[in-house]
Amino acid sequence: MKKGIFTVVSNREIAKNTYEMVLSGDTSAITAPGQFVNIELQGFYLRRPISVCDVERSSLTIIYKVVGKGTEYMSRLSAGAELDLLSGLGNGYSLGESGERPLLIGGGAGVPPMYELCKVLLKEGKKPVVIMGFNTEDEIFYRERFEALGAETVVATADGSVGVKGFVTDGMDTVGEYSYVYVCGPEPMLKAVYDKSVTSGQFSFEERMGCGFGACMGCTCKTKYGSKRICKDGPVLFKEEIIW
């Protein structure tokens, strides 16, 4: 974990109520796809945890949905604004188990961490398949970005307006055999993928957090191997340890 000041480079709406923010600063603490940052916002008591979408040596990209006063405040920030970040939080995804053709499954706000993961897997010579789930066409983002990486990409929309009609689990029916699953999204989606998947995998959980680095114990959950803090021991849990 590292505390630092980051500068907003750009902040733009990329889908309905969904924003992409690029920040410049020291990203050296971010060492694995699936980690997150915790952002201090002026006038708000608790920091906002946001997953990392993309990271370079001196910049990182986050994608967030406006769901409350904190994220609404973030959406109004302009280039040049400074933010206090805790970076390199969480355990992130482990890559050694991926196999040759892993599924990367993201639902809504769970899509962004799949982008960095996809980049890393492609660099390792793997052939990831990305399944993205949204409710409607106007919520879709980053489809072209994943396709530009060269990844096979499947979009599922609940209303059938784009791609597969239904959920990410319906998208899973279209991709054939796969070697592993990496998943991020709301808990009902995680449970559905857990039940449907035929391989092992890693599941990133969304949870309300206080400190974001394991001190307050506010995001503790039970696993088959004892209690774990989603912010520090997670947010990524292995399929075999999850208790529903």
103 in Cβ contact with 181 (< 8 Å): yes
Taking the CA atoms of 194, 196, 201 and 202 in sequence, report the sign of the dihedral they define.
negative
**Spatial distance between the Cα atoms of 114 and 53, rounded to a whole number of angstroms:** 7
Percentage of residues of the chain with pLDDT beyond 70: 95
217 in Cβ contact with 200 (< 8 Å): no
Tracing tokens 């696993």 back to the chain, one arrives at: 223
- Tens digits of residue pLDDT in 182-215: 999 999 999 999 999 999 999 998 766 567 666 6
Q: Quote the pLDDT of residue 111.
A: 98
Give the long-range contacts of residues 120-125, CB within 8 A, separation 24 or more.
Answer: 120/33, 120/95, 121/95, 122/149, 122/150, 122/151, 124/95, 124/98
Phi and psi for 115 in degrees, rounded to 5? Answer: -70, -50
Any idea where the domains of the chain sit in the sequence? 2-89, 102-241
**Spatial distance between the Cα atoms of 229 and 217, rounded to a whole number of angstroms:** 6
CATH fold for the domain made of 102-241: Rossmann fold (3.40.50)
Tracing tokens 């920040």 back to the chain, one arrives at: 23
State the DSSP code for 205: P
CATH code of the domain made up of 2-89 = 2.40.30.10
- Tens digits of residue pLDDT in 103-153: 999 999 999 999 999 999 999 999 999 999 999 999 999 999 999 999 999
Q: Quote the pLDDT of residue 214.
A: 65
